[in-house]
Structure 1
Amino acid sequence: MTTESPNDTPARRDGTGQVSYAIFDQALWTRFSEADSVEGFVESWLALLARNLTGVTSAVALIGDPDTGPFVPVARWPEEAAISPALMAATERALGKRQPILTRTEEGHEIALPFLMDGQLYGAVSVTMQGEAMTPGEVVRHLRWGAGWIEVLLRRDQGRSFERLQARTAKALSMLATVLEQKRFNAAANALVTELARSLKCDPVSLGLMKRGNAKVVAVSHASGWGKRMSLMRDIRAAMNEAADQEAVVLYPPPPGWDYRVTLAHEELVRTHRADSVLSVPIQYDGDIIGALTLEKAGPEGFDEETVELVDVIATVVGPVIEEKRRNDRILIVKVFEVIGNQVQRLLGPSHFGRKLATLIFAGLVWYFATATTTFTVTAPAQLQGTVQRTVVAPFNGYIADEQVQAGAVVTEGQVLARLDDQDLALEQLRLVTSRGQRQAEYAQALAGRQRAEANIIESQIRQIDSQIALVEEQIARTEIRAPFDGVVVSGDLSQKIGATVERGEELFKIAPPDGWRVVLEVDERDLAEIAPGQTGQLRVSSLPDLPLLYKIERITPVSDQREGRNFFRVDASLEENDPRLRPSMEGIARTEIDERLLFAVWTRPLVNWAKLTFWRWMP
């Protein structure tokens, strides 16, 4: 005997008294094809699935948000039956493992299949099977075939959601374009509320911005009668404050299932000003509520869910642009004070630790540079020279016969430095000696012949020849070029001039004493005003960078020189210390101590001087 389950209400009995399941199946298919909601679609789908599985005693289908859930039962079979714990446990396991689950119980088999689409989990279907009419594999195969309808449902729902999203986005972008077309804030605000009122058939639409914690209405559509409707403005501000304080969309009257909101101000607005429904949507900018949109609508249809979402999207997209236009329309002094106030608030507020740390570091640096001092020094290239520098020249015209030393050699007083060729002088000496002998013989003859006058003439010639001989001997002696004192050969290299001619007075060597030095500084003209005789400093030469040499400024020459694109003056200083490793013409860097100055002033001195000259150049 066939029994009729409680959910078989669409079935009819034929003339024999038996239940006509053909009529029942037709009713299920009709309900399935005409379902206008997810719940109705899944309920009829689950009933049809259970009718095609022999031995099914109960079934349940769960649907939820992709991957995240929560997954809740949207259909069960039979409709009045409770879901067994074993069936729900099998469903939870299938959801967790994302694969079909088979569980054996005393009542039969619990079989669960997850709904997977594009790698995302959307829910599951589970059935309880009794008997051996169908194997678990056949049941899973039927469930997989049936799951295709769920995928059709999900994709259809996704398509509708995408179409609604596209429509909302297009309208929001259209509103954004309307606002962007306006150059001034007031024009943009009026264009926004007017376009919203026209497209959504609302009267009026109001835009308010927060000022000192309260909303201020800045634009109202159909605003020709503002002066006679001040109470309306007051109630609109109250509704905006109500939505802003809750930081949520407020709709009155609320639809069924709407989240709880405080709606006292909206209720008063509906009651007092004969509006059938009121919607307020907060506007956010940079994480803060900056205002709200309030829409009033007459008629029984009110604001549906699609309209609420549309207005919310428009407020999200257009709100920041409205705020930027408002900020740009303010006068400059207000902008400056706002920027300063924001920075102070961030600095003194509870957050922005990095800004506070950077400010402390900056303040410490300012304090340090405002108080720290250092010794101001003038840096200049310098050269080491001897205190006394003697030039050794050629004593007469001649030829170089030999050279004994070169530049850099240490010599002693009287040491031979070079020799000149004395062959011509020796021949001249021999000629003069022979001539003197002849004159001496003639002198003797004159004396013997008592020729007194002749003898006096010859005697005079002999004295002349003696003088010439003495001169030649002196020249021969001076062919050896000797050092005038102990010192170092600063310059002079005759190794490449052996046999070459030299003229009288031509420089051969320069010699400086080894224990007397002076420092020649090349002070840039920009620093010359800081230099004065008596100042001290340190010199470090390139060959001895670890050896500090103290010096004292002696004299400033008034003549400038130019080299390598800079103009400098020569400053002479005396070296207060001596070192045997020093040599003439050593070069290095000299730092002359001037006085104590602020470290910041020392570092910025070149820039300040440049700025002064530039200002003077371009000053009218």
Structure 2
Amino acid sequence: MNAPGHPPQFVPDALALVRELQALRRSSPSAPGYWDQMAAGLRFLCRAQSAWIVQRAEGVAGGGWRISGRAAEADQASFDAAWGRELEALAPRAADKGFAVNPGTTPDGLGVFRVAIRLEFATESLALLEIPQRERASLNELVLRARLVADLPGAVPAQPAAEPAALPVPMPAAGGGSAPPRLPVVAGAPFAAEPPSSSLAPAAQLALSDLLDLAAQAMREPRLGAATLTLVNGLAALAGAAQVAFGWSDHGYVHAATISHLDQFNAGSELVEMVESALDESLEHDAPLRNPAPVGAPVHPALDRLRDALGFTGVCSLSLRRGLEPAPAALLVAHADGRTLDDASLAHVRTMFDLALPWLIGLREREKWWGARLRDWAALRLSALLGPQHVWLKTAGVAFGLFALYATFATWDYRVNGNGQLTTDSTRLVSASFDGRVDTALVSSGDMVHRGDVLGVLDTRELRQQETDARAEIRRYAAEADKARATAAWAEVEIASARQEQAQARLARVLDMIDQASARAPFDGVVVEGERKDLLGAPVRKGDKLFKLARIEGLYVVTTVPERDIPLIAPNATGELALVSRPDVKIPLRVSAVIPVAQTKGQEGNQFMIRAELLQAPESWWRPGMSGAVRIDAGRRNVAWILTHRLIDRLRMLLWW
């Protein structure tokens, strides 16, 4: 290849070809021989038997395509015979995904792959290649080479180019003759010669910058299929992989979406099922899975089956997880030349997908092809039952009509809801018997007590001092009476005896107060008021309430019901109580009285109180004051009335005049 304007020459090696292609980037597409030299470069680059550059032109012979450049020992008739039927099938796929591949045969009966590559900066232009069947193992790599040079600038000239001269390059002989030299791709340059396989490192290292460039290229694609193909094809080229597969995870199962350099594949084939099984295995792991597995690591059977079935030397799969969320996708990379991706490269791959995956998910959500298919499937079957038009409207109408018919004639049990509380009339207050301070408090609200149990003790130190003083006075007045009796001073004897009796009365009162300092339970019951932490050390006056006790027997329910529902409650209506502490236990009850005076409770409005008796014996865990929800049976009512009566009542109040 020479610069445009000069006769093309045979390219002896890969490095010279790379330089010639780079020179094309600096030249103008309008230069003579530009597209011929590009076709010749593509032919050598992709080891093709022939290469053509075509542009759509309606009304031109050859199925609407005009030949702008070629590198083939064939004429227009040979082109029409080889591509006439293939081109119209390949062109839409190449325009959508960037490339398309179809297997075929030459007029001599030799197998070939016909490849169409979309030229990025040329209007409705394609590069057409015929790649021999013997290159099947390298087909992915050869297609990617063509796509990497498909962005050469410029547009195809408007006027037909002069009849191009074929490049003097050797054509492969029928039956497997000589072929153009192999030109594998390495990262860091558009094309470069590949070192001998013996010099390959055991691990392929990927530069993060190359992967980020690949992600940016994929994010320029407007369609999901083209974007994922760009990613897997580029990753296969950068990693030197034989196969790269990408799949979406739906309901914990991965469906293969894209396989490198396959624009179409059979989702039910054995190969795809093995790939999907290998991708599935990675969903349960954060770390990449490898086969062969490292020493001591578990073996993953799906990766093992895929490797053995396709003859890969190494397979790696990883889930594309974002944080703690379930992995939305998975990736598989397989090598056939002994290489593998190291941990650092896999981390770079994950970083690339962290950047590209939100964009891919957005494309997938916008396309929503599976939702349209599901809608059409449902509409087709419903139309057979409901008619050919307005399927969804008729379906909704029939459903509403059936429900309206049911609501008109069917009845449900209707219950009035309210708030209830366990209450008892058997209560007793335990108060302070004298002024003082609480020295000891032994119980708190909710404690069970028995008759005679000490609930609390008042401080008696001052009373003990008064007791001592009273006893001392009794002894002193007794001595004075004895002294007066000895001197026959009978008047003094009477005075001393009277004072002694006063001291004894004072002593009796003090002893009684000391005895009453211990507050005791008057009956078996539960403490409903009084807290140990609040009473301990608190000063009290005579008559102040210390504790409130209630008996468990004689419990009943006090319920509040909204004003709008009170007319629905009949005398002796039954219902159930579910306490907050045990909502799983339903306690049966029966209405015994309705208090006919409403009480206003803030935003709840007017509430009526209902007294209900319990229809079962009290349980040991019941306590007075426990609250819960009450449902009172209001009989069977029409379904339509149950669903609409509150709305109708409100409208009546709003529209009344």
Instruction: Check whether TM > 0.5.
Output: no
Structure 1 or 2, whichever has the larger Rg, is: 1
Band of TM-score, shorter chain? 0.3 to 0.5
